Amino acid sequence: MYLGQLQYNIANCPLIVLSACETGKGTSQQNEGIMSLGRAFIGSGVGGALSTRWEVDDAATANLTRFFYKELDAVGLPAKALQRARAAYLKENTAISAQNPWLWAALLYQGKNHTILIQSPRPGGIKYIIAGVVVAACACIYFLLKRKK
């Protein structure tokens, strides 16, 4: 995929998570705010962007992102989910070194704070796929045997 094609594939996307280093870092534009990669996605039609303001620790950011998705599923609002994810991270990581804001404060949410519903995979969905394949295979075998007669 090329950068020019990206704008067509993200239309109406409610949220994009950019957890790589400095995806929320940018230049400050007068009367506009910070122009960053996350802000560019919002300008392309994404409802909101979760990005990072500085170089991040991989393990801490992965842990915080996991908490974010869990809280987003619970509360639905990205800004509230980020607030609760930070609190959960600090509660779980009690070591003085893990409490450093450099580790947990890098994530930034920009965009509309609208409800986002996370779709969980349907339980048993794979069973229906397997059943469909088995039925199709049986039908093919039946018609092949019938054709030989």
Range in 35-44, 84-93, 97-106 with the lowest mean pLDDT: 35-44
3-state secondary structure of 81: helix
Buried b (16+ CB within 10 A) or exposed e, 57-94: beebbebbbebbeebbeeeebbeebbebbbebbbeebe
Classify strands 107-111 and 48-52 as parallel, antiparallel or unpaired: antiparallel
Q: Residues 18-44: what's their mean pLDDT?
A: 83
**pTM score, two decimals?**
0.72
Residue 125 clears pLDDT 90, i.e. is over it: no
- Please give the mean pLDDT across all residues of the chain: 82
Contact (Cβ atoms closer than 8 angstroms) between residue 51 and residue 107? yes
* 81 pLDDT tier (thresholds 50, 70, 90): very high
Q: How confident is the model at residue 77 (pLDDT cuts 50, 70, 90)?
A: very high
Lowest mean pLDDT among 1-10, 43-52, 103-112, 129-138: 1-10
Q: Which of 54, 53, 50 is nearest to 66 (CA)?
A: 50
pLDDT at residue 79, as a whole number? 94
87/101 Cα distance (integer angstroms): 12
Residue corresponding to tokens 């409800």: 115
Beta-sheet pairing, 48-52 with 16-17: parallel
